[in-house]
Amino acid sequence: MMGRVTISSNCGEDSTYVSNIFIDEYMQDANDAQIKIYLFLLRMMSANLPTSVEALADKFNHTESDVIRALKYWEKKGLISLEYDGSQNLTGIHMEDIVAQQHRRYGRRRGDSVQNQAAAQVVAPAVPAPAPAKTAKAATTDVSNLLFIAEQYFGRTLTSTEMQTICYIHDDLAFSDDLLDYLMQYCVDNHKKDFRYMEKVAINWNQQGIKTPKQARAEIFKHDSDFIAIMKALGMENSPTEKETNFILKWRGELGFSMDIILEACDRTVMATQKGRLKYCDAILRSWHEKKVKTREDIAKLDANFTADLAKKRSKASISSIDTKLRLSESSIRSGVSQNRFNQFQQNTYDFAELEKKLLDN
């Protein structure tokens, strides 16, 4: 399943070999997860053992997404190549020859053997040799991993302009990987997939001195006009708590509702209850989501159907009530008259005026 790696025939089977080029030129820019996964691939390669994304994730307590990102990172670096089946499932990992980075722009020569390159035996944690001083920009984590993450968030291949925007935010604005990751997630969750919008937010955070996702989150909740409008619509003037924020984020992100629909649910909530308004509003929106509501017209149709169903139920209830009254009426001989042995039969009613007239005529 995998290709060649540097290996020497005169050493024991308990050793795994890593190219000096990897230690000198590649390891310093990779993060811990990427280094661990690459070294473990070499270990599996030297033992001629298979592995999988699930096995790698379990081995290092990473998510499968972390493993895939690391594999993509090394593929872009040219150290491995990935093979997929027709359903885009990973089926093979080929370990490529390691070539010095200064020669990569000319392309790799397939005839160059890794056996002609220096190798170091790894019997203890490897310590890279001191590297020449680097500028702050050059010392930043390689941005290729972030480009891959961005493609997953935005669901498409990035344009060159969009790639430049990410590089600008990462390098010039000095965003950490975590902060840039949170920025992209924030934009996608709020249906803002325009990179110009993401750049404006990044510049604002930079001016505010924001360095961590926690600081960014606090700033968002403090100034987000949508959050303020929703809280006011529910009759609450306070800044949203973390729990309240999670509700609102779910409505806009997971459920995908526009502000127009959310505010309509808020209005109905205020008219219906004084307590537990967030939970009540959440129940309304979840119900609408299940019924695939997208517009106010969809809500109007649901209201009309509800009214029609309610009218039918009331009509049936009314008919049932009348039937019950009739049955009760039939079961009683004379309503309001006490029942005894003298009136347990239907009594006749006489017209005394008519009787008197007949007697006079005779």
Same domain for 245 and 200? no
* pLDDT score recorded for residue 269: 94
* pLDDT score recorded for residue 206: 92
Residue 10 located in a structural domain: yes
Structure tokens at 275: 């307590």
**Strand partners for 119:** 19
- The H or E element spanning position 83 is strand 80-84
* pLDDT score recorded for residue 322: 63
Residue 61 to residue 312: CA distance in whole angstroms: 58
Contacts with 144 (C-beta within 8 Å, 6 or more apart), sequence order: 73, 76, 77
Same domain for 62 and 155? no
**Strand partners for 18:** 120
Residue 99 to residue 169: CA distance in whole angstroms: 30
* pLDDT score recorded for residue 183: 92
The pLDDT averaged over each successive group of 10 residues in the chain (362 residues) is 43 71 86 88 83 86 84 86 79 80 42 34 36 39 77 87 90 90 87 89 91 84 82 86 83 88 94 90 93 91 88 76 60 51 50 56 55
Residue 316 located in a structural domain: no
Same domain for 195 and 241? no
Residue 40 to residue 59: CA distance in whole angstroms: 9
Domain boundary residue among 284, 301, 318? 301
Looking at residue 115, what DSSP letter applies?
G
Give me the CATH number covering residue 156.
1.10.10
Same domain for 252 and 196? no
* pLDDT score recorded for residue 348: 52
Structure tokens at 72: 């993509």
Give me the CATH number covering residue 95.
1.10.10.10
Residue 219 located in a structural domain: no
Same domain for 273 and 206? no
* pLDDT score recorded for residue 117: 33
Same domain for 70 and 154? no
Structural domain span for residue 285: 224-301
* pLDDT score recorded for residue 300: 92
* pLDDT score recorded for residue 362: 52
Residue type, 301: K
* pLDDT score recorded for residue 127: 35
- The H or E element spanning position 94 is strand 90-95
- Please, what's the b/e burial string for 329-342 (b: 16 or more CB within 10 A of its CB; e: otherwise)? eeeeeeeeeeeeee
Residue 306 located in a structural domain: no
Same domain for 164 and 91? no
- C-alpha distances (whole Å) from 182 to each of 120, 125, 250, 255 are 39, 32, 16, 20
Domain count, the chain: 3
* pLDDT score recorded for residue 7: 36
Same domain for 150 and 93? no
CB 167 within 8 A of CB 143: yes
